[in-house]
Amino acid sequence: MFAGRIAMERLATGSARLASANAAGGTAGSAAALPHVTIRGLTKRFDRVSIYENFDLDLPRGKLISVFGPNGCGKSTLINMIAGLVTYDAGEILFAGKRREQVKLGYVFQNYREALFPWMRAFDNIGYPLKLMKVPKPERRARTERLVAHLDVKIDLNRYPYELSGGQQQLVSIMRALIVEPEILFLDEPFSALDYEMTLFMREQLQRIFIETGMTIVLVSHDLEEAVYLADRILLLSRHPARIADFVVFDSARPRSAATLSSREFVQTKAHCLDVFQREVRG
């Protein structure tokens, strides 16, 4: 629980610094032409195990990117390093030429039950990052109400997290990540603990958010069908030390539906990703 709060404070601190920087002078218009995230020479070791070694990657702006690979290859570690939640041993990560502290980021944790504060009502959980950013209470309430109305959320947000279903809790977590109006949204296997019905609902919600905001979204998934279905780009990683096994394009029209799953493009893309994955696992 405390680790989740520390992570939240790190993300919110970066958002507060960005607000100050923008008020002081804004950002360069040329940034839109750069990759949204540029990673060069990234190195990360846990004890004697090398997870990333001189790793390079460019993530495009305004795309939904899924990250898929063998267990233990460093999928979650990668987005945690990009988001500033985990340190790295060497290398550089830039956001359209800017550093992490200059960029608004949102993060949805895998374990939504531990990520939400049980002593706060759902409404206050959503607005908590704004509180850390020292946004006045009336503005926090107004911004939270606007977000809830925009997403047409029907949950009783006066209830505590433990009074909500798993899917409702995760929806609250997503809204809490969106309240800061992030440039990039990170999701770490956000649907893995949900039943299938709620997973389908949450996938629809994520698509809607992506279509409406056009923000860059990076999703870690352990489900290949989900990784392909939701994404514009599928980043396939090898075993550690991780390298890019492939970076696959899937440009199927949105919103995607059950018909997408049986389309020729989807079937071919999923089959290709499976071949790459199996090659990496067996190799």
Structure confidence at residue 283 (pLDDT): 72
Structure confidence at residue 9 (pLDDT): 55
Which residues, listed in sequence order, are joined to residue 49 by a DSSP beta bridge? 46
This prediction has a pTM of 0.85
Task: Walk across the sheet containing 233-237 and list its strands.
Answer: 105-108, 184-188, 216-220, 64-68, 233-237, 244-249
Burial of 198 (0-12, 13-18, 19+ CB in 10 A): middle
In this model, does residue 193 exceed pLDDT 90? Answer: no
Q: Determine the average pLDDT of the residues in 84-108.
A: 92
pLDDT, greater one: 34 or 26: 34
Structure confidence at residue 2 (pLDDT): 44
Task: State how far the Cα of 104 lies from the Cα of 164, in Å rounded to an integer.
Answer: 28
Structure confidence at residue 118 (pLDDT): 94
Give alpha helix (H) positions in 71-223.
75-83, 112-115, 122-132, 137-150, 166-178, 196-213
Query: How is the chain split into domains, by residue range?
Result: 2-22+34-282
Task: State how far the Cα of 63 lies from the Cα of 231, in Å rounded to an integer.
Answer: 8
pLDDT tens readout for residues 112-165: 778 899 999 999 999 999 999 999 999 999 999 999 998 888 889 999 999 998
pLDDT tens readout for residues 29-86: 455 568 999 999 999 999 889 999 999 999 999 999 999 999 999 999 999 999 999 9
What homologous superfamily does CATH list for 2-22+34-282? P-loop containing nucleotide triphosphate hydrolases (3.40.50.300)
* Nearest 10 degrees: Cα torsion 185, 190, 195, 199: 20
Structure confidence at residue 233 (pLDDT): 97
